[in-house]
Copies of this chain bind each other. A is one copy, B any other.
Amino acid sequence: MSGGTKQKLFEATLRLSKSRGLVGLTVDDIAAEAGVAKGTVYYNFGSKDGLVDGLLRYGVDMLALRLRAAVSDADPLDVIEAQVDTTLEFIASYPGFSQILVSELWRTPGQWHGTLSLLREEIISIVKTQLSRLEEAGRLPEGVQIPTAAAGLFGTMLVVALDWQVFGPQRTRAEVREAVMVLIRGLGRR
């Protein structure tokens, strides 16, 4: 089953990247962790870059899917809260992925910067939608740039979630979500 092998390689890479990052990761280790031979990686992906590229899309697709599932026509602030919760849950499940994101997203011109920029757009556009709804309701403070705010929001979630995982794993997800929401509520007071 080919899809199964690719999936196994993705999951193995995510497991390892948590501690070593993408650059410090060897194809030998990934293959060993996935329980396949090194050649299999090259058979399936052509190169280490190919594997990483696939992994990035895999991860972002998962996250985007969950973020979109959290959308409803409820109050935009509630939707954002649900999205924050979703993101925290996702990052707790796949700490290696967010690790990669923060390590590589702002590297210029990193190897995967192109792919990552696209993926950043995908996630941010989902957040933007909710901010636009807030704006339409006239609930955004004056002068707030939606693109900047959306990027900031996404980055904040990422960083807070990582900090939670690494420096305060005893906190509950609800506590951390509250911490983020306190910041966000300043955006759209009801």
Q: Which residues of A contact B (CB under 8 A)?
A: 18-21, 23-24, 99, 102-110, 117, 120, 141, 143-145, 147-149, 151-152, 155-156, 158-160, 162-163, 165-168, 171, 175-176, 178-180, 182-187, 189
Q: Quick one: copies of this chain in the complex?
A: 2
User: Which residues on B sit within 8 Å (CB–CB) of A19?
Assistant: 107-110
Main secondary structure of the interface of A (DSSP, over half): helix
User: Which residues on B sit within 8 Å (CB–CB) of A102?
Assistant: 102-103, 106, 159
Q: Quick check: B167 and A159 within 8 Å, CB to CB?
A: no
The CB with the most chain B CB atoms within 10 A, among A19, A99, A103, A145, is that of A103
Complex CA gap A148/B148 in Å reads 23
User: Which residues on B sit within 8 Å (CB–CB) of A168?
Assistant: 147-148, 151
Q: Quick check: B180 and A145 within 8 Å, CB to CB?
A: no
User: Which residues on B sit within 8 Å (CB–CB) of A105?
Assistant: 166
User: Which residues on B sit within 8 Å (CB–CB) of A141?
Assistant: 182
User: Which residues on B sit within 8 Å (CB–CB) of A175?
Assistant: 145, 148
